[in-house]
Structure 1
Amino acid sequence: MEKSVLIFDDDVDILSILTYLLEEKGYKISTRTSCANILNDIAETAPDIIMMDNWIPEAGGKVATKLIKSHPEYRSIPVIYFSANNDIEKLAKEAGADTYLAKPFDLDQLEELLSNVLQ
């Protein structure tokens, strides 16, 4: 069965690259450039995994991730925190994300992370 990934990132180039690469690998991709309507976005797309950029507009990745993780229905959805920040590990932990991915990353790293998270 096709797994779906909801990606939050304000960089449309990153979104289009990730969409292309992950759709090639058989994932169903939804993207958002803001987390203003995050709970609606999750309800609409029913993702198996969420990828959250640290610098997403409106609340920011940390607040958005905490919101997901405090939601009774959505807190079990794995969140991969991704950012070019040096302290990505610390940020992901503070946000309550399940794991993290430092930018720039290669496709193999991303694929391995997605399959680990789905297990």
Structure 2
Amino acid sequence: MIRLYGIKNCDTVQKARKWLDQHQVSYEFHDFRSDGMDSVPVDEWINTLGWEKVLNKRSTSWRALSDEQKTGMDDTLAAACTQKEPTLIKRPVLTMPGKTPAFGFKTADYEAHLA
């Protein structure tokens, strides 16, 4: 099953959802805020790709972290921080069985990922 993770009012998530809908791709949407973080496989993403690929270091949430948190960031701290502040995760996240998750939205990347 294809799953798209994000926040429904995020512009980039909206673009990704629109693209998937236009290309008649069946997917399940999981909103970090309204659906919660309990079933979100953030630890798996971080273990597979590293926290640097999962966290959005240009986000307001990243800038709100303390300097100590930023300089001491590692996989364990990243997983803990995303549970408290899911907006730290690069959005959207597109997951499919047997494929590495895709973070962010670019048409070419989605075309390649879904090929």
Give the shorter-chain TM-score range: 0.3 to 0.5
TM-score by length of 2: 0.39
Higher strand share: 1
Instruction: Pick the structure with greater CA Rg.
Output: 2
TM-score by length of 1: 0.38
Structure with the larger RCO, 1 or 2 (CA within 8 Å, 6+ apart): 2
